[in-house]
Chain A
């Protein structure tokens, strides 16, 4: 979950704007939150992101890139839920969420499933024509669930570049992999 935390942190670096979506189809997150022993919600709007980006050093190549990426983001929403024990939520509880992400504008680029520790990570990108308009990250573990929603232009390359900033973990996306579709490990 450390890796997920880092992802969450990264996502936090970005922001959301007035047009950010904060998806919660069927009230899935709200329902899960009611069962969780602990919830952490982070909302960053465009003004907050703009402020945060002002403190990135434009002379540092990495930070300069992050600054540029964040400048165009509209918002970031992170919902992190912890449960006392496994089994308090099931794959079925996420069906409404996943159904929403089956809409044509969404494409799953990353799908990592770990049979060893039950940690799964999925990343979906929202596309408008050839442009990326947003990102959803779902990270599930037996006792944890993390949902990240980034609104605004973000590409798979941006996700990798933002890794390490604002607590965002390093994310490697192999775009030559068949799908986007992911892998089991």
Chain B
């Protein structure tokens, strides 16, 4: 079972119906996906989200939010940057596209918003049947790891 599905199965039991008020860009991205693809997310509660990231072995991650779209059914990952443009148009300034990994059946986007104290990362992962949006604070070393080994970020989110 890949990690998206593990998250989904756990979320069936523990998901909460709505988000809090913080992190507007996370909400905006989730809503954008819902609007574009006619899907609805399951929110993973904080404690479970933390557990999921530990399972995914993302050290130093905190302040985590996860939304999973289990009924995502986009047969072909959108091409030519259309999806990225729509996502980026919903995000506020300060967010930088850092990594994009695209294959025939997967698209992973990593955005970063560095500040003096930490880096917020927003990861969007689209697969044929599951989409995942994760926002978390990460260490610079973790972000560097994703940058140097982009496939690892994809694997951790799946």
Contacts and interface: CB of A to CB of B under 8 A. Distances in A.
A42 B150 CA distance: 9
Contact of B99 (A40, A47, A166, A167): A40
B149 interface: yes
Contacts of B148: 9, 12-13, 166-167
A12 B80 CA distance: 23
Contact of B100 (A39, A47, A51): A39
A40 B107 CA distance: 10
A47 B114 contact: yes
Contacts of B99: 40-43
B40 interface: no
Contacts of B147: 9, 12, 42, 44, 166-167
A39 B151 CA distance: 11
Nearest to B141: A55
A40 B149 CA distance: 10
Contact of A47 (B79, B96, B104, B143): B96
The number of chain A residues touching the other chain, given as a range, is: 20 to 34
B102 A45 contact: no
Contacts of B112: 48
A39 B102 contact: yes
A42 B144 CA distance: 11
The number of chain B residues touching the other chain, given as a range, is: 20 to 34
A34 B79 CA distance: 8
Contacts of A166: 144, 147-148
A40 B144 contact: no
Interface in A52-72: 52, 54-55
A54 B150 CA distance: 21
Interface in A1-45: 9, 12-13, 33-34, 37-45
Contact of A38 (B103, B141, B149): B103
B144 A38 contact: no
Contacts of B80: 34
A30 B150 CA distance: 19
B102 A43 contact: no
Contacts of A51: 114, 119, 140
Contacts of A12: 144, 147-148
B78 interface: no
A55 B80 CA distance: 35
Interface in B67-118: 79-80, 96-104, 112, 114
CB-based closest 8 A-B pairs: A167-B148, A9-B148, A38-B103, A41-B100, A51-B114, A12-B147, A55-B140, A39-B102
5 contacts: A37-B104, A38-B104, A43-B98, A44-B98, A45-B96
